[in-house]
Amino acid sequence: MSPRKWVSGQAGRLLRLPLAHLPLAYLPLAYLLLFYFYPLASILALSLAPQGWPDLTSLARLVGSSYYLDIFWFTTWQAALSTLLTVALGMPGAYVFARYRFPARSLLEALITVPFVLPTVVVAVAFTALLGPRGWLNATLMRLLGLERPPLDVQGTLTAILLAHVFYNAVLVVRMVGTQWANLDPALAEAARMLGAGRLRAFREVTLPLLGPSLGAAALLTFIFCFTSFGVVLILGGGHYATLEVEIYYRTTRLLDLPLAATLALVQIVVVFGLMTAYTRIQARLAVPQPLRPRRVTQRRPRAVGEWALLVAALIPLLLLLLSPLAALAERSLTVGEVGGPAHYRALFANPRGSIFYVPPVAAVRNSLLFALATVGLSVTLGMMVAVTIAGRGAMKSRPRRVRLMDPLFMLPLGTSAVTLGLGYIVALDEPPLNLRTSPVLIVLAHTLVALPFVVRSVLPALRSIQPQLQEAAAVLGAPPWRVFREIDLPIVARAVAVGAVFAFTISMGEFGATSLLVRPQFPTLPVAIYRLLGQPGVTNYGQALAMSTLLMLVCTAGFLLIERFRVGETGEF
């Protein structure tokens, strides 16, 4: 059965389902069916039946070539090594943030979270600005030591890729493990020590098993992000390294080998979905009832000199790795080249060749803003529909099974790489009535699919926190459902909706994987324009790439600070 016939059949089944009590579910489910499952089904069909009948030629090419096996092996072991390094760096930070109160703690916690909301292309450019041949560290060493050539050469090496992955994901360990650690009762480890266990043994046999679910979640997410790494490997790898994600991009854009690209995407989908399934089972097995305590009981100020030394030793490496690339990016955008100052920022508005076909870099800023605003409108609308449907009224156990299934269903896009989604759109949306392959609307649809889970997870906890008595009292007084939602629910969840909207805006501004495949030359976005400038020779192009990356970094940082401003307590799951 062709993907188009499959979608038509599923749409018919959807309309026949007894969802009369869930009218809000129709539009989000139709969106997920058309712009998620349909592209994935098209990838499956192109991989296994490119001519309309079963044909395993592409799969045989994949399995029979050591080249692709090497790519899969590199993708796997570099993700595993990145995960180990991330956990090793993040665990000390998780401990000190969980157990101690110290000056500027909230500010430092916010600063170390900023890298996670940055686009991967900005992370790659930041590390180039710090460690590249023209980077801040090499320039400083050359000036201090009187050298004529850069002493450090990590551009295009595995070291740069691993450092960038740790930079990007360390906050997952700090915040996910630290949140669980902060609420563990310290008396458990103290009881083990009173029975003769040393500090290390008490941690290994008492604390670590209790932290297992949160540590497993952080490690798994880190592995998935590194396994599907694209912008970091594409730019910092210098063409010497390729993950599955990068190879899919090359096969699609450079070699136009869509069947093989689809087969690679299929392998990646199977691996990532398998990891997510395995983790849910492991987490259920590890999760045990725990005596949790409030943070005012578990946290205290450091007392002895040794505790202050531990605090400094845990935070200094973390802050150096996470903040120095961002500082180097901003500094180099103002000093690189002979002109220096804001010259590279002014050059973003110039058309040096006077060509009518030239798209100035500032146009990318406009395009990104337009795409982001459209993404916010669509993702917030769909996300509210999903969240209201899932939250409903009454206890979760009384909700219909099909409603409970919507929760994990709309989380599926988080487990799918953006490049794979972009490839699916190219394959699927190229014929009437969904001939959107050359339309800018396709960018908004892809960005919305990536942002939708964040909106749902931001709004859903706030909706579930509403006391049913408030809704029931308004209904008894004669208010129809739409008025109950407008006057009771919406004012309560407004701040959570704002958090979801800022998430959607930030994600859209920085999305690079799917956009790099779908964007038209006349509609570049900020990340795409940065990548194009990096691929062109000359210090002016490099300086403009740094300037655009700095602007994008500032936008994402401002977005994260807004999220923290709007967030109410621990509401939201990101």
Residue 83 pLDDT: 93
106 within a domain of the structure (yes/no): yes
Residue 84 pLDDT: 94
Indicate whether 150 and 289 sit together in one domain.
Answer: yes
What separation, in Å, do the N-terminal and C-terminal C-alpha atoms of the chain show? 39
Residue 159 pLDDT: 86
Domain hosting 275: range is 66-332
Minimal CA–CA distance to 334: which of 319, 325, 322, 346? 346
Phi-psi category of residue 337: left, alpha or beta, with phi > 0 → left and psi -120 to 50 → alpha: left
Phi, psi (deg, nearest 5) at residue 49: -150, 65
Indicate whether 503 and 554 sit together in one domain.
Answer: yes
DSSP assignments along 30-94, one per residue: HHHIIIIIHHHHHHHHHHH-TTSS---HHHHHHHH-HHHHHHHHHHHHHHHHHHHHHHHHHHHHH
Q: Burial, 335: exposed, middle or buried (Cβ in 10 Å; 0-12, 13-18, 19+)?
A: middle
Residue 81 pLDDT: 94
Indicate whether 283 and 367 sit together in one domain.
Answer: no
Residue 17 pLDDT: 45
CA distance 140 to 125: 18
Residue 312 pLDDT: 85
Indicate whether 508 and 366 sit together in one domain.
Answer: yes
49 within a domain of the structure (yes/no): no
301 within a domain of the structure (yes/no): yes
Number of folded domains that form the chain: 2
Residue 572 pLDDT: 45
Of the three residues 280, 311, 332, the one that is the final residue of a domain is 332
Indicate whether 269 and 371 sit together in one domain.
Answer: no
45 within a domain of the structure (yes/no): no
Indicate whether 514 and 463 sit together in one domain.
Answer: yes
Indicate whether 362 and 475 sit together in one domain.
Answer: yes
Indicate whether 328 and 451 sit together in one domain.
Answer: no
Does 433 sit behind a cis peptide bond, omega within 30 degrees of 0 on the bond before it?
Answer: yes
Indicate whether 353 and 280 sit together in one domain.
Answer: no
- Does residue 445 contact residue 426 with C-beta atoms inside 8 Å? no
Radius of gyration of the chain (CA): 25
Tell me which residues of the chain have a pLDDT lower than 70: 1-24, 50-56, 185-190, 192, 195, 197-198, 238, 276-299, 338-341, 350-359, 392-405, 407-408, 415, 433, 465-490, 492, 563-574
Of the three residues 314, 332, 350, the one that is the final residue of a domain is 332
| Domain at 515, CATH number | 1.10.3720.10
